[in-house]
Amino acid sequence: MDNCITTSTSVTIGIDLGDRYAFFCELAEDGEILEEGRIATTRTAFKKRFERIPQTWIVMEVGSQSPWISKLLSSFGHEVIVANPRKLRLIYRNDSKSDRIDAQYLARLGRIDPKLLSPIQHRSLDTIVDLNVIRNRDLLVRTRTKLIMHVRSVVKAIGGHVSRFQTGSFAERARPMIPSELQETLCPMLDLITALDDQIELCDQRIDLLAETKCPETELLRQVPGVGTVTALAFMLTIEDPYRFKSSRAVGSYLGLRPRQAELGDKRPQLGITKAGSPLLRKLLVQCAHVILQDRNPDSDLKRWGRAIMERGGKNARKRAAVAVARKLAVLLHRLWINGEVYEPLHNSEQVVQAVN
């Protein structure tokens, strides 16, 4: 049989992915349903169903399995559109929701105008693997924090007290403070915290190695005080291709740090940020922003700008300032990455002084 794939732009296929099965709907050019069905979510099943059909548009939603499925279908010559779930309220708010209907809606939306779906581009396999090292570390740190809080709260409940130690040494220093009646209950928790300390240290070593061998440009980003190896590497792996953005300003929006908009006549309500993109990187950037705003850290344009927002006061002034600084920090890191420049913390302030003089 001839393996060549012929072009068929008149057909659009929507696929609703599930853990075990995927539902598909194939639409003709006039919108009529040509075929509907269900296939197992396996490489063998997808290859059997889609490898030898004519080249066509295939629309699916972002999901845990969409990276490998989209790459597999693209290897067959199909035009694959991975839809941004934030643009699919038509599906989420459907009163007659089902996997079959979701697949049909995806096909119809892709047939009308693919841009309505705000298609995303999945990262490469190597980037996904490397990024998971940082995600694993984040999970380990959050788990350790919960265990430490649990130990302190249990001891406090019976009138005891465990001081706030540096997390890496908490288990060792807290053990003598555990009351005798709680030794049997809490010592296993301290052992788990020690094990987590060891795993987090291994993750840190792996992250340092990745930054040194695969992403040496992280050194450019770490010029900014408050930005460490974890944040710099997470930034580069999440963005992956810095030239995908026409302007550095677009990075803030991509990471969900831009305020939402809802213009209603003359009303311009102050809304929260969109929270699009990577929650992990957004959290890391906000943490860096809090460090930048601290009194003991070096003076910089970022710090002065954030402090000015704080001084205006209002509800959650410091929180709003940190988010605003995080947005500007994302723009700064992208520019340093693109241009390879030496970071000048007071570049804008010095230009103003020179202009005045």
**What letter represents residue 252's amino acid?**
G
Write the pLDDT tens digit of every residue in 242-275. Answer: 999 999 999 999 999 998 876 666 666 777 888 8
Indicate if 85 and 27 belong to the same structural domain: yes
Write the pLDDT tens digit of every residue in 331-353. Answer: 999 999 999 989 999 987 766 65
Angle at 113 between CA 111 and CA 119, to 5 degrees: 105
Instruction: Give percent above pLDDT 70 in the chain.
Output: 90
Evaluate if residue 121 carries a pLDDT over 50.
yes
Choose the weakest-confidence range: 23-32, 142-151, 258-267, 284-293: 258-267
Give the DSSP H/E element, type plus range, for residue 143.
helix 125-157
**pLDDT score recorded for residue 286:** 97
Q: Two tokens at 330?
A: 């994302």
Indicate if 109 and 142 belong to the same structural domain: no
Q: Two tokens at 349?
A: 């302030």
Name the domain count of the chain.
Answer: 3
Q: Whole-prediction pTM value?
A: 0.83
Indicate if 140 and 67 belong to the same structural domain: no
**Half-sphere exposure in the Cβ direction for 347 (13 Å, CA):** 8
Query: Within a domain: residue 100?
Result: yes
Query: Within a domain: residue 262?
Result: yes
Query: Within a domain: residue 355?
Result: no
Query: Within a domain: residue 354?
Result: no
Are 171 and 191 in contact by the 8 Å Cβ rule? The answer is yes
Range of the domain at 105: 7-117
Residue tagged 């957004």 (tokens): 282
Query: What is the average pLDDT value for the chain, to the nearest integer?
Result: 89
**Helices and strands in the chain: count of H runs, count of E runs:** 14, 5
Indicate if 132 and 111 belong to the same structural domain: no
Choose the weakest-confidence range: 2-16, 95-109, 326-340: 2-16
| For the chain, the helix, strand and coil percentages under 3-state DSSP, each to the nearest 5 | 55, 10, 30
Whole-number Å distance between alpha carbons of 165 and 171: 9
Indicate if 246 and 345 belong to the same structural domain: yes
Domain boundary among 95, 117, 139: 117
Indicate if 342 and 268 belong to the same structural domain: yes
Over residues 57-80, mean pLDDT:
93
**pLDDT score recorded for residue 224:** 96
Indicate if 52 and 32 belong to the same structural domain: yes
Indicate if 86 and 140 belong to the same structural domain: no
Query: Within a domain: residue 220?
Result: no
**pLDDT score recorded for residue 353:** 59
